[in-house]
């Protein structure tokens, strides 16, 4: 097996003289090609090579070769690391899976993080395929070697491997593993401490409870007071897992001092992490501690001096309140949380306000009708008038929660100006977002309110300058018709839509066609045949080819809604005329319509 | 640069928060929206920038105690009798430990002014007087400095901060912080300064916190930090290895984890002078730093911000130990930019700097892979890349190296040069290539003629290269088979 020999000496690969192995030889040759792309292709076909070589030669020749050549481009190494994770059957099944360890071990030490992570992922995967004996004989020594490697990369990789082998080894080996993990948690390279901290929770989960208390807790405490905030914040993540593992009575002494300290950390990154994980933490520590400790901590986070932290906390307001123990929940919210929330409504930072706006409506279900009207409604109204469109949009997009509790009517007077303003916002993405909420709003506000106040907006969008808005407006009309019925459509929408067929702007004339495409089914046969079809047919004489071929497309679309008579006597002649159009696109779509509607 | 930035008017100070709002133009009254504004699409960055007129400032003191006590001015140091001066010095140091909220431009104005005056006096006191650095003063001094400068940097106001285009967020408390840095510098430079006394306070933890501040977005602050860290490195032998290691860690984190660190250029500048002083033979630690940290740093997205300093460090290393040339060049070739032309130009610049100091024996070791890359660059459709590579032929020393090895270099370069002399879209490049071809021809006309005729013969041959044509016919049927027989 000499990869360099290559296809010029096909015997090398096809030692049995089988010519069918020639292409394999080409692939093997390309593992050494100067062109990265060819090497990459070849590595991606590695399973094919292995399959052709058979399990034994894969083990004895291919794998050693791969192990030796690991100093390639990171892209090739990444592909290799990934491939090897699925190689168990190709080396002869679980019995031989340990053959894959040497190349993966080398890959787990390279500099490039992506490669290393992939190698660790593959190692974790194949660790499961090791028998308990092999795990101790082959896998665990590898973990130890990595854990005591010179360069930080191997130690970082080791951190991800402890938890996969720990549950299946003997107690002596377990003790060793714990010792190695301890060492890495106090490594003097911050990269390694970060890696260890990020695996702390995962490792704690596989440890026996006694060791969680005796080993993990001191590590947790140490990492949570690391000199680098990047390490401390990872300890917060681990806190969730650790707190879940411990019995309630130990939490106060083992976890809470650290958590309290993290919530008051001098680095905003750590406080941000606490805010971001607040719901998980709340669940992990249980209702009693939540009441005594987390409520004040949460208040502080909502009042934090960094906007990032406030925004993260504001995002959690609803979830936090929802998960409060039911007895006393209302009191806690009303006396402790709501005052902070009120301040956030007029926060100086738009991200904070918009984070709050995305959850604040959820409080109404928790607090009930009276509190909502008295305390929350003024906040909703204030946010509806916010200068930042995102805040207003977030309120409007969550109207359904309020609707269930107090009905939307309470809000409608303030809603309208907000909606109108958003509907005419200079940013088309804002306009697009509000259109998407129209059907929901229409449903909640009722048809009268809609006709009176919102209908004109919906029609105005049809002539927007941005295509995406016109398209969304079309789709919106369809949903409205589904909601309010065909009769409503006939009286309010259809005349306006059809009126646009005479617009001097061909884009608006096309919008008529797009609307008809969308509406015909919802409006039903009668309206379509009586009102829409004549307009469409008339437009087949339009001087703009784009309009004409859209007529063809439109006819194809509404064809199924029409009866056969209309199809034969009205649609068919027009399509035939269009099929003879001088414009090739018009011809094409006309012919397509004819064949789809089977009018030929 | 520094002077210019200092002039920024503080009256423009706004909180980072308010300023974030400034980026979004206030929604104009509805009726006023013109059609052109409605068809917004994507506003150009420069336009958005233009709207952002205010200088942004940020600060990050966590829960600054709003000063319940107003500072009261102490007597001037210069007016105090010499017996009381030292005592007053300590009192002023303690007074300066009070922190103020500079995001709030209205409160504490009086106290802020008192502190500013006191700091000015302190700076003056340590720079002009001898014998003021008594043993008892050290802890007070370091305490005052630590309290004022060590803080968690605020979140970047602009998450997509582009240091090349965007205005940095400036430290709001600069009116005080600047003086504290000034004081620290004067303290370190005072002739009476005794590292043996200071080392109890200027320790590893102090250095670590100092290093974290290098991520400050404020270039004025980083400039002070650079000088200060350099002084500390110079004066505290016991901290040197530690400082190098921590810089190392900062860089590794920058390369492999965050891709973001504002102070890379400043740290590299310090390193440039440190490398200069390395003893020979180089320790393994230093070589490792070169190969595993400095070389991979070339992959950073923001290379342009610190490339000059990085290249300087690399060349320093090679001047120290020429045997490192081969691994360095191979390292650069490994990380050669694939799509970013701007970076490619930087790489070429660095290669030229290296070639300027390369030893002829080292050149022979790398000429083949190196000129393969240069040949690709010369043929690059981006004219700046091609031009930068062709400029190598204006360099006398490089020319002499090429001439010495013309039999190796010419065959590698010939194809590309010949082809682009006919095909490149940019006339300047074509003109440059003609000159280069002429130079090469003069170096070895026999070889040149041989290559010309074989190149032409190659081109004459039917387009269907046998290599390309026959192979697929053999392989394709198999490929199909493999695709269908992919193992499960």
Q: Which residue of A has its CA nearest to B245?
A: A189
With an 8 Å Cβ cutoff, are B486 and A47 in contact? Answer: yes
Is B15 strand, coil or helix? Answer: coil
Residues of A in contact with B30 (CB under 8 A): 420-421, 424
B486 to chain A, any CB pair closer than 8 A? The answer is: yes
Is B41 strand, coil or helix? Answer: coil
DSSP annotation of A268:
H
Confidence of residue B42 (pLDDT cuts 50, 70, 90): very low
Contact B406, B440 (CB under 8 A): yes
With an 8 Å Cβ cutoff, are B21 and A388 in contact? Answer: yes
Q: Which of B39, B62, B249 sits opposite A189 (nearest CB)?
A: B249
Which residue, B28, B32, B30, B25, is CA-closest to B47? B25
With an 8 Å Cβ cutoff, are A267 and B152 in contact? Answer: yes
Give every CB contact of residue B7 below 8 A, 6+ residues apart in sequence.
Answer: none
Give the model confidence (pLDDT) of B203-215 as tens digits. Answer: 999 999 999 999 9
With an 8 Å Cβ cutoff, are A23 and B474 in contact? Answer: yes
With an 8 Å Cβ cutoff, are A23 and B152 in contact? Answer: no
With an 8 Å Cβ cutoff, are B152 and A266 in contact? Answer: yes
Which residue, B169, B77, B54, is CA-closest to B127? B77
* Å between B37 CA and nearest CA of chain A: 6
> Of all helices (H) and strands (E), which one includes residue B58?
strand B57-58
User: In 10 A of CB A93, how many CB atoms?
Assistant: 11
Give the model confidence (pLDDT) of A382-437 as tens digits. Answer: 888 888 888 888 888 887 777 777 776 667 777 777 788 888 888 888 888 888 88
Q: What is the pLDDT of residue B56?
A: 62
Residues 142-161 of B with CB under 8 A from A: 151-152, 154-155
Helix-strand-coil split of chain A, %, nearest 5: 80, 0, 20
With an 8 Å Cβ cutoff, are A306 and B60 in contact? Answer: yes
Give every CB contact of residue B463 below 8 A, 6+ residues apart in sequence.
Answer: none
Residues of A in contact with B205 (CB under 8 A): 227
Contact A277, A289 (CB under 8 A): no
What percent of chain B lies above the pLDDT cut of 90?
44
Q: Which of B155, B296, B334 sits opposite A308 (nearest CB)?
A: B155
With an 8 Å Cβ cutoff, are B26 and A387 in contact? Answer: yes
R_g (Cα) of chain B, nearest Å: 30
Predicted-complex ipTM score: 0.75
Give yes or no for residue B32 having a pLDDT over 70: no
B42 to chain A, any CB pair closer than 8 A? The answer is: no
Q: Which residue of B has its CA nearest to A117?
A: B256
Q: What is the pLDDT of residue B21?
A: 33
B464 to chain A, any CB pair closer than 8 A? The answer is: no
Question: Mean pLDDT lowest for which of A314-318, B10-14, B390-394?
Answer: B10-14
Residue with tokens 């829960």: B63
Residue with the larger pLDDT of the pair A51 and B268: B268
Residues of B in contact with A427 (CB under 8 A): 40
Interface test with A, best of B23, B28, B62 (most A CBs within 10 A): B62
Mean pLDDT, consecutive 10-residue segments, chain A of 600 residues? 42 47 71 80 84 84 79 83 89 88 91 92 92 90 92 93 92 92 93 94 92 92 92 92 90 90 92 93 89 91 91 93 87 90 90 91 86 85 84 82 74 76 83 84 81 84 90 90 87 88 91 91 87 91 92 91 88 91 92 88
Residues of A in contact with B35 (CB under 8 A): 465
B60 to chain A, any CB pair closer than 8 A? The answer is: yes
Tokens of B181: 């840095």
* Å between B244 CA and nearest CA of chain A: 13
B28 to chain A, any CB pair closer than 8 A? The answer is: yes
DSSP annotation of B129:
-
Q: Which residue of A has its CA nearest to B36?
A: A465
Give the model confidence (pLDDT) of B55-113 as tens digits. Answer: 566 665 555 555 556 777 787 877 777 778 888 888 888 888 888 888 777 877 888 88
B277 to chain A, any CB pair closer than 8 A? The answer is: no
Peptide bond between residue B461 and the one before it cis (omega within 30 degrees of 0) = no
Residue with tokens 């209702």: A287
Question: Mean pLDDT lowest for which of A364-368, B34-38, B171-175, B394-398?
Answer: B34-38
- CA–CA gap between residue B134 and residue B296 (Å, rounded): 46
Contact A293, A256 (CB under 8 A): yes
Residue with tokens 């300064």: B193
Residues of B in contact with A230 (CB under 8 A): 253
With an 8 Å Cβ cutoff, are A268 and B479 in contact? Answer: no
Give the model confidence (pLDDT) of A276-305 as tens digits. Answer: 999 999 999 888 888 888 999 999 999 998
With an 8 Å Cβ cutoff, are B249 and A112 in contact? Answer: no
How deeply is A131 buried, as exposed, middle or buried, from its count of CB atoms within 10 A (0-12, 13-18, 19+)? Answer: middle
Q: Which residue of B has its CA nearest to A308?
A: B155
pLDDT, mean of residues B110-124: 88
* Å between B282 CA and nearest CA of chain A: 19
Tokens of A209: 């409870």
Tokens of A286: 């249980």
Residues of B in contact with A308 (CB under 8 A): 155
With an 8 Å Cβ cutoff, are B62 and A73 in contact? Answer: no
**Euclidean distance between the first and final Cα of chain A, in Å?**
66
DSSP annotation of A386:
-
Cβ-count burial B308-345 (b if 16+ within 10 Å, e if not): bbbbbbbbbbbebeeebbbebbebbebbbbeeebebbb
Q: What is the pLDDT of residue B33?
A: 40
With an 8 Å Cβ cutoff, are A229 and B152 in contact? Answer: yes
- Hey, which residues does B171 pair with through a beta bridge? B58
B472 to chain A, any CB pair closer than 8 A? The answer is: no
What is the pTM for the complete model shown?
A: 0.77
Q: Which of A190, A191, A427 sits opposite B40 (nearest CB)?
A: A427
Q: What is the pLDDT of residue A458?
A: 87
Q: What is the pLDDT of residue A272?
A: 94
- CA–CA gap between residue B449 and residue B434 (Å, rounded): 15
Residue with the larger pLDDT of the pair A126 and B52: A126
Interface test with B, best of A38, A426, A431, A456 (most B CBs within 10 A): A426
Alpha helices in A268-408 (DSSP H): 268-276, 278-289, 295-302, 307-315, 317-322, 329-332, 338-345, 350-359, 363-371, 377-384, 389-397, 399-406
Is B170 strand, coil or helix? Answer: strand
With an 8 Å Cβ cutoff, are B38 and A465 in contact? Answer: yes
* Å between A418 CA and nearest CA of chain B: 12
Vertex A78: Cα angle to A43 and B341 (nearest 5): 100
Q: What is the pLDDT of residue B99?
A: 85
With an 8 Å Cβ cutoff, are B63 and A305 in contact? Answer: yes
- CA–CA gap between residue A253 and residue A435 (Å, rounded): 53
* Å between A231 CA and nearest CA of chain B: 12
Q: What is the pLDDT of residue B488?
A: 36
- CA–CA gap between residue B281 and residue A488 (Å, rounded): 90
Residues 236-255 of B with CB under 8 A from A: 249, 252-253
- CA–CA gap between residue A114 and residue B255 (Å, rounded): 12
Confidence of residue B223 (pLDDT cuts 50, 70, 90): very high
* Å between A101 CA and nearest CA of chain B: 21
Which residue, B245, B46, B17, is CA-closest to A346? B17
User: In 10 A of CB B63, how many CB atoms?
Assistant: 11
Q: Count of A–B CB contacts within 8 Å? A: 101
Q: What is the pLDDT of residue B364?
A: 93
Distances (CA, A) of B142 to A14, A328, A585, B42, B176: 75, 50, 80, 51, 16
Q: Which residue of A has its CA nearest to B484?
A: A48
- CA–CA gap between residue A509 and residue A513 (Å, rounded): 7
With an 8 Å Cβ cutoff, are B28 and A426 in contact? Answer: yes
- Hey, which residues does B58 pair with through a beta bridge? B171
- What backbone torsions phi and psi does residue A535 show, to the nearest 5 degrees? -65, -45
With an 8 Å Cβ cutoff, are B38 and A112 in contact? Answer: no
With an 8 Å Cβ cutoff, are A306 and B155 in contact? Answer: yes
- CA–CA gap between residue A104 and residue A84 (Å, rounded): 7
With an 8 Å Cβ cutoff, are B253 and A425 in contact? Answer: no
The answer to whether the Cα torsion of A126, A132, A137, A140 is positive or negative is positive
């Amino acid at each position: 097996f000499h990869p360099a020999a290559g296809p010029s000496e096909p015997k090398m690969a096809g030692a049995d003289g089988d010519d069918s192995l020639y292409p394999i030889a080409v692939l093997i040759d390309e593992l050494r090609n100067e062109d990265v792309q060819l090497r990459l292709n070849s590595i991606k076909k590695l399973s094919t090579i292995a399959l052709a070589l058979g399990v034994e030669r894969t083990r004895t020749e291919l794998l050693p070769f791969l192990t030796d050549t690991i100093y390639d481009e990171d892209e090739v190494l990444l592909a290799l690391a990934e491939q090897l994770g699925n190689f168990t059957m190709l080396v002869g099944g679980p019995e031989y899976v340990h053959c894959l360890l040497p190349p993966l071990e080398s890959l787990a030490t390279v500099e490039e993080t992506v490669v290393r992570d992939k190698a660790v992922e593959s190692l974790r995967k194949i660790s499961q395929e090791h028998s308990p004996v092999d795990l101790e004989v082959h896998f665990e020594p590898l973990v130890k070697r990595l854990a005591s490697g010179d360069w930080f990369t191997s130690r970082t990789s080791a951190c991800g491997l402890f938890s996969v082998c720990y549950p299946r080894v003997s107690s002596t080996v377990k003790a060793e593993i714990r010792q190695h993990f301890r060492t890495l948690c106090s490594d003097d390279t911050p990269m390694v401490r970060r890696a260890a901290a990020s695996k702390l929770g995962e490792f704690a989960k596989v440890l026996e409870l006694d060791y969680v208390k005796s080993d993990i807790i001191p590590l947790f405490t140490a990492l949570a007071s690391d000199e680098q905030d990047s390490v401390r914040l990872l300890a917060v993540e681990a806190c969730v897992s650790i707190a879940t593992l411990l019995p309630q009575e130990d939490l106060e002494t083992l976890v809470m001092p650290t958590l309290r300290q993290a919530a008051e950390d001098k680095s905003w990154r750590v406080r941000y992490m606490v805010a971001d994980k607040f719901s998980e933490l709340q669940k992990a520590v249980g209702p009693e501690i939540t009441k005594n400790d987390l409520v004040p901590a949460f208040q502080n986070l909502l009042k934090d001096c960094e906007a990032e932290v406030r925004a993260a906390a504001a995002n959690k307001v609803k979830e936090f309140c929802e998960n409060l123990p039911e007895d006393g929940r209302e009191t806690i919210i009303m006396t402790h949380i709501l005052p902070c929330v009120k301040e956030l409504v007029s926060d100086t930072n738009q991200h904070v306000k918009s984070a709050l706006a995305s959850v604040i409506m959820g409080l109404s279900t928790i607090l009930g009708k009276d509190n909502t009207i008295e305390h929350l409604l003024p906040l909703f109204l204030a946010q509806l008038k916010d200068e930042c469109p995102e805040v207003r949009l977030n309120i409007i997009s969550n109207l359904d929660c309020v609707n269930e509790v107090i009905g939307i009517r309470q809000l409608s007077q303030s809603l309208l100006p907000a909606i109108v303003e958003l509907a005419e916002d200079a940013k088309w993405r804002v306009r697009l977002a509000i259109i998407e909420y129209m059907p929901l709003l229409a449903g909640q506000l009722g048809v009268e309110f809609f006709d009176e106040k919102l209908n004109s907006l919906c029609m105005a969008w049809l002539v927007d300058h941005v295509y995406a808005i016109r398209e969304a407006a079309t789709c919106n009309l369809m949903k409205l018709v589904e909601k309010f019925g065909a009769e409503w459509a006939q009286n309010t929408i259809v005349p306006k839509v059809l009126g646009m067929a005479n617009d001097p702007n061909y884009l608006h004339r096309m919008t008529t066609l797009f609307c008809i495409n969308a509406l015909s089914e919802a409006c039903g046969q009668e309206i379509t045949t009586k009102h829409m079809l004549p307009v469409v047919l008339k437009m087949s004489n339009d001087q703009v080819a784009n309009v004409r071929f859209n007529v063809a497309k439109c006819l194809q679309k509404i064809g199924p809604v029409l009866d056969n008579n209309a199809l034969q006597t009205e649609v068919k002649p027009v399509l035939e005329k269009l099929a003879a159009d001088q414009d090739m696109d018009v011809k094409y779509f006309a012919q397509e319509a004819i064949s789809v509607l089977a009018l030929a | 640069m520094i002077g210019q930035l200092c002039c920024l008017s503080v009256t423009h100070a706004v909180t980072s928060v308010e300023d974030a709002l400034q980026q979004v133009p206030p929604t104009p009254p509805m009726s006023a929206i013109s059609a052109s504004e409605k068809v917004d699409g994507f506003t150009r960055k420069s336009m958005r920038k233009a709207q952002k007129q205010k200088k942004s400032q940020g600060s990050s003191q966590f829960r600054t105690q709003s000063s319940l006590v107003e500072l009261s001015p102490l007597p001037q140091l210069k007016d105090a009798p010499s017996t009381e001066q030292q005592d007053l010095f300590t009192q002023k140091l303690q007074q300066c430990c009070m922190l103020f909220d500079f995001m709030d431009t209205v409160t504490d104005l009086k106290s802020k002014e008192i502190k500013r005056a006191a700091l000015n006096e302190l700076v003056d006191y340590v720079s002009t007087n001898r014998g003021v650095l008594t043993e008892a003063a050290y802890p007070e001094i370091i305490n005052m400095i630590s309290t004022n400068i060590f803080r968690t940097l605020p979140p970047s106001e602009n998450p997509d901060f582009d240091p090349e285009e965007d205005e940095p967020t400036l430290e709001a408390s600069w009116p005080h912080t600047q003086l504290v840095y000034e004081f620290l510098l004067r303290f370190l430079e005072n002739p009476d300064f005794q590292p043996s006394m200071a080392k109890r306070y200027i320790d590893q933890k102090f250095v670590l916190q100092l290093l974290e501040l290098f991520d400050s977005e404020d270039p004025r602050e980083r400039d002070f930090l650079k000088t200060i860290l350099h002084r500390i490195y110079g004066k505290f032998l016991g901290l040197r290895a530690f400082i190098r290691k921590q810089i190392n860690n900062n860089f590794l984190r920058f390369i492999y984890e965050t891709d973001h660190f504002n102070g890379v250029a400043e740290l590299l500048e310090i390193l440039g002078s440190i490398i200069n002083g390395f003893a020979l033979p180089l320790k393994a630690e230093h070589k490792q730093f070169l190969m595993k940290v400095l070389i991979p740093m070339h992959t950073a997205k923001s290379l342009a911000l610190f490339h000059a300093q990085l290249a300087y460090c690399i060349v320093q290393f090679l001047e120290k130990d020429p045997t490192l040339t081969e691994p360095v060049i191979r390292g650069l070739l490994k990380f050669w930019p694939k799509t970013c032309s701007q970076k490619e130009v930087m790489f070429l610049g660095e290669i030229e700097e290296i070639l300027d100091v390369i030893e002829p024996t080292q050149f022979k070791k790398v000429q083949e892979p190196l000129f393969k890359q240069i040949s690709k660059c010369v043929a690059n459709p981006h004219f700046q890349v091609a031009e930068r590579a062709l400029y190598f032929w204006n360099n006398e020393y490089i020319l002499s190296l090429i001439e010495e090895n013309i039999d190796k270099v010419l065959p590698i370069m010939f194809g590309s040069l010949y082809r682009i002399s006919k095909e490149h879209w940019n006339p300047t490049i074509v003109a440059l290539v003609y000159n280069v071809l002429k130079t090469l021809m003069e170096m070895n006309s026999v070889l040149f003629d041989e290559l010309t005729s074989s190149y032409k013969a190659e081109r004459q041959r039917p387009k269907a290269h046998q290599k390309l044509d026959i192979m697929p016919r053999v392989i394709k049927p198999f490929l199909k088979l493999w695709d269908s027989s992919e193992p499960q």
